[in-house]
Structure 1
Amino acid sequence: MKYLNETSHMVGLSKATRNLQNAIQKVAPLEAAVLLYGESGTGKELAARMIHDLSNRRTSPFISVNCGALPRELLNTELFGHEKGSFTGAIYQHQGYFEQADGGTLLLDEITEMPLSFQVYLLRALETGTFRRVGGHQEIKTNPRVIATTNIDPWQAVERGKLRPDLFFRLAEFPLYLAPLRDRDEDAILLAHYFLESFNETYEENKRFTNDALQFISNNSWPGNVRELRHAIHHAFILANDEIDERKFHRGQWQSTPSYQDKLVYSLVGLSIEDIEKNLIPATLDHFKGDKKQTAQCLGISLKTLYNRLNLISEIDGKEDLNKVVNFSTKNSNAFLARESD
C-alpha cells in the first residue's frame, strides 16, 4: 500500500493490498471502531485516513494522536482538555482531542503505548460517549469515530498486560491487518514508480530507474516497509542525474540482509526446545534481576509455569554440551549469533 494522496487511493496489486482496500471500502461508511495492526511503516495512518475520507464524516475533523508521544502527566488534559484555573499554568480553557474530533474521526496511534492505568478512562469515554475536562464537573458529550493502531500483535499485547482486554474488544470491532512489504513483493515496484513520479513532479525532473535498480528494489526485503522504501528512493533520486541505478542506493543501509529474527532463528537450528529453554529462561530471569513476575510476562507464560520450568531445569543433569549453549546476552550486539565453544 502507499502513502495517501489527494484521492485516497492505494498503490498495489497484491492480494493482501486488494483485500485491505476491499475491507476498508466496506467498513468506512459504518460507525464500527477499527483496530489497524501491523509492522511500523506499513501505512496504518494512511489506512485510517482512507477510512475517514470514505466515511460519512469526511467533512469533519480527522485528529491523529500519538499515544506514545504524550507525557503521562499530560494524558488527561491532552485527550479530555482542562478548565481555566484547574492547575498552575491553566490560564485558559483547553479542548482536548476527544472534543476536537467530535463528529469526525479520532486516530489513537500506537494505542499499546498508552499506560494501562489510563486506559480505563479512555474506555469509559468510549463506552459512555461523555467525559469531563480536568478541573471540570460537567459531563460533556462527544461523538468521534475512533480508529486505533498498534505495531504489535494486539492479542499478545492483551496477554502481556499492555492493553486492557475490555478496551481491546471495544476498539477491535473491526480489526484489520496490514501485511509487511516483504509479503507483497509485487507491490514494491509499483510503489517505487509511484514515489519516483511524485519526486519528479515535486522537483520538476524526469529521472528514471535502470533495470538493475528495479532488480535491487524487487530483491530487497525492506524491513522498514513502505516508509523505508520511500526514503531509499528519495535518497537515490537526490544522488542521480538522469538515471537511478543500483549504485545510488545506500547499500550500507538498504542492502538486502536477513532480519534480526531470521538470524536468531538460524542460530538456534540444531538445538532442541529443551536446550533453548534451559538457556533462555535463566538468561531472561537474570536480565530482570531475578524478578520472576517480569520474567514470566516477558516470556508470555504464567508465573506458575515459570516456577515449573525452573524446577525442571534445576533437576536436569548439570553436564551441558557447551557447543549447544546459546548466549542470549544483550550486552553483545552479535550475541544472538554466538555459541560458546569448548
Structure 2
Amino acid sequence: MSHALVVDDDIDSANSLAALIAGQEFTVACAHTLRDARRQIVLQQPDIVLLDLKLPDGSGMDLFTDASLIANSEVVLITGHASIETSIQALRLGAADYLIKPVNLRQLQGVLSRFMKPAALQAEFADLSATVAKSGRFGHLWGRAPSMQRVYEQIARVAGTGVTVFITGESGSGKEVVAQTVHDLSRRRKQPFLAVNCGAVSPTLIESEIFGHERGSFTGAERQHQGYFERAAGGTLFLDEITEMPQALQVKLLRVLETGRFMRVGSTQNLEADVRVIAATNRDPQEAVASGKLREDLMYRLNVFPIELPPLRDRLDDVPLLAAHFLTGIGEQEGRSKRLTADALAQLAAYPWPGNVRELRNAVQRAYVMAVGDEIDAQWLPRPSAAAAVEATVNTDAADAGLHLPIGTSVAEAERRLILATLRHYHHHKERTAAVLGISLKTLYNRLKEYAGPTEPAS
C-alpha cells in the first residue's frame, strides 16, 4: 500500500485531508512543521507528499532545497496562500501538481489517480534515451540531431509535472506530435488528449467549442454541449495556433488557468477544469504580443515551460530517418513495402523542406503512390534546384516590387511583406503561395484576413 504524508500547519485541515486520503487506499501520516516533515520522511519515505507552503518554521518550498530528501516522493502543493507564481516556481522545482484549499474529494481523487513514483518515471525516460540512441525514436518523435536531443531533454523534464507548456515552431514542424508525446509520458496518460486548432474554428463558435454551452444559450443551441475542457477532464488539452484565438476568449482562458474554473456559455455555474493545457504557435510570441494577436498576461501564463521546435532544414541529417519511418507506416497501411534508392535519399537530404516534416511526409506518400515497383527513385521527389529557383524568383519579384527589409524591421512586418510579395508573384493563387511559403492554406487565409485588404507589399 502506498504511503502519503500531509504537511499542513492547520491541524483540522490536515486531519480532514488525511481522512480523505485514507479512504483512497493509502496509509497516511501528518506533519505540522518543516522540522516534523523532515523527521517523518526519514522515518518512512512517503510515496506522495501533500505540502502546504506556509508553515510556522518556514516555507514548504524549503523542502526542495534538499533534493535527496524527496527524490523518491511525488510532491503536490496544497495551500490556500499560494500565488500562481509561487505554484509555478514549485512546479519548476519538481512538484507534480498543485491544489488550492479547500480541497474537495473529486480534486484529490484526480491527483491520487495520477500518482506515479518518480523512480518509475525516471526509469521510463532512461529507456527512451536508449531507444533514441538505437533507433532515433523518442515517443512519437524521430530524429538524432542535437537540436532534437535538446527537445527530448525538455520533454523528459516537464512531462512528469503539471506545468503548462508553450511550443513554438514553424508550420509543419511537429508541434502537435510534441504535445502528444508530453501527454503520453505524463501522469495524465490514461486520460484523454484532445487537440483544437484555434485558427480552424469560427470565432463565433470557438467559445462554445472550448467551454461548452447550455441549451437555449443562443440560436441553434438545442441541447447542452460539453466543450473541450470538460471532455479532456483529467487529461491534456492542446490549443494549437493560440494566437488565432479571439482576444475576448483569451481573457477567459487566462481565468481558467489561474483559477481552475470555467463556465459554459449561458451558464452561471462554475465547473472545475482538471486539465493540463499545452499551447502552440507558429509565430514569435513576443511579436504576437506586439501586434495585438496575443495578450501579454496570457503569454506569460502559458510560457511557463517553452519548447522551441527546430525547422527540418536545420536538421537535414534526420531526413533519411524520418523518410524511412513514414515509408514504413505507408507500407503497413497499403500492405506493400517499398524502399528509397540511394539517389532518392540523397535528393531528400539536399532539399530545404520549407513545409518541414509535414511536407516530407506528403512527398514520401506521393512518391510511394507514383513508384511502379518496389523501389522509389528520385523522379517523383522534390528537387533542391527547383526550390532554389522558386526562392530566387520570389526574391527577385519581391525586389522588383520594392520589398526592402532594413535593419530593425520586425519579424511580423517582414512576414507580412514576404507573404504579400509571394502572393503577388503567383497571381494570387493561394494554394501555390501557401505551398511555397511552407504554411497551411488555413494559416495563409488567417494572415490575409489579419492584413485586412492590402494585396501589395508596402514600398
Task: Give the structure-2-normalised TM-score.
Answer: 0.56
Point out the structure with the larger strand share. 2
Higher relative contact order, structure no. (Cα contacts within 8 Å, ≥ 6 residues apart): 1
| 2: CA distance, partners of 1:45 / 1:83 | 30
Residues 77-96 of structure 1 aligned to structure 2 (within 5 Å): 77-96=208-227
2:361 is paired with a residue whose SS is helix
Which of 169, 180, 190 in structure 2 is aligned with 1:59? 190
The reply to whether residue 21 of structure 1 matches residue 152 of structure 2 is yes
Residues of 1 paired with 2:270 and 2:256: CA distance? 10
Q: Note if 1:246 corresponds to 2:338.
A: no
Post-superposition CA distance 1:200-221 (Å, at most 9, x none): 2222223221111011101101
CA distance in structure 2 between the partners assigned to 1:159 and 1:102 by the alignment: 33
Judge which range, 175-184 or 70-79, deviates more: 70-79
- Once the two structures are TM-superposed, the CA of residue 9 in structure 1 deviates from its matched residue by 3.9
The 5-angstrom pairing of residues 1-342 of structure 1 reads: 8-240=139-371, 241-249=373-381, 255-257=386-388, 260=391, 264=395, 299=413, 332-333=424-425
SS in 1 for 2:196: strand
Q: What residue ranges of structure 2 are gaps of 5+ in the alignment?
A: 1-131, 415-419, 428-459
Q: CA–CA distance in 1 between the matches of 2:238 and 2:229?
A: 10
Matches of 1:258 and 1:56 in 2, distance apart? 49
- Equivalent residue pairs, number: 283
User: In structure 1, what residue type is equivalent to 2:322?
Assistant: L
Q: 1:137, CA displacement in angstroms?
A: 1.1
Contact (CA 8 Å) 2:140, 2:177: kept in 1 or not? no
Q: Which amino acid aligns with 1:171?
A: L
**1:307 matched to which residue of 2?**
none
Q: Is the contact made by 1:232 and 1:254 (CA closer than 8 Å) also made in structure 2? A: no
Q: Tell me how far apart the structure 2 counterparts of residues 85 and 227 of structure 1 sit (CA, whole Å).
A: 41
Q: Is the 8 A contact 2:351 2:382 kept in 1?
A: no
Please identify, of 175-184 and 233-242, the stretch whose mean Cα deviation from structure 2 is larger: 233-242
Structure 2 residue matching 1:184: 3-state secondary structure: helix
2:442 — aligned with what? none
Write the distance in 2 (CA, Å) between the matches of 1:276 and 1:110: 26
Q: Distance in 2 between matches of 1:297 and 1:207?
A: 42
1:160–1:297 Cα contact (<8 Å) kept:
no
3-state SS of 2:195 partner: strand
Q: Is contact 1:35-1:149 (8 Å) kept?
A: yes
Deviations 1:262-299 (A, max 9, x none): 9539976xx9x9x866xx99xxxxxxxxxxxxxx9964
Aligned residues with identical type, % of pairs? 46
Distance in 2 of aligned mates of 1:143 and 1:35: 18
Q: Which runs of 5+ in 1 are unaligned?
A: 282-295, 301-327, 336-342
CA 1:92–1:330 in structure 2 vs 1: closer, same or farther (change >3 Å)?
Answer: same
In the TM superposition, what is the alpha-carbon distance from 1:91 to its structure 2 partner?
2.2
| Helix, strand or coil at the partner of 1:135 | coil
Whether the 8 Å contact between 2:163 and 2:305 is mirrored in structure 1 is yes
Shift in alpha-carbon separation, 1:57–1:154, aligned structure 2, 3 A: same
Query: 1:312 — aligned with what?
Result: none
When residues 208 and 254 of structure 1 are mapped into structure 2, their CA distance, relative to the original with a 3 A threshold, is farther
Distance 2:392 2:231 in 1: 41
Superposition RMSD in Å: 3.2
Structure 1 match to 2:81: none
Give the residue type in structure 1 aligned to 2:258.
Answer: E
SS of corresponding position for 2:387: coil
CA contact (8 A) 1:32 1:174 kept: yes
Tell me the alpha carbon deviations over residues 203-258 of structure 1, each in whole angstroms, 9 at most, x when there is no partner: 2223221111011101101111111111111111111112111113255x994326
Deviations 1:10-32 (A, max 9, x none): 21110011111111111000011
CA–CA distance in 1 between the matches of 2:254 and 2:360?
A: 36
Q: Shift of residue 7 of structure 1? A: 8.3
| Cα distance in structure 2, aligned partners of 1:127 and 1:332 | 44
Deviation at 1:170, TM superposition (A): 0.6
Q: What TM-score results when the alignment is normalised by the length of structure 1?
A: 0.75
Distance 1:154 1:260, change over 3 A: farther
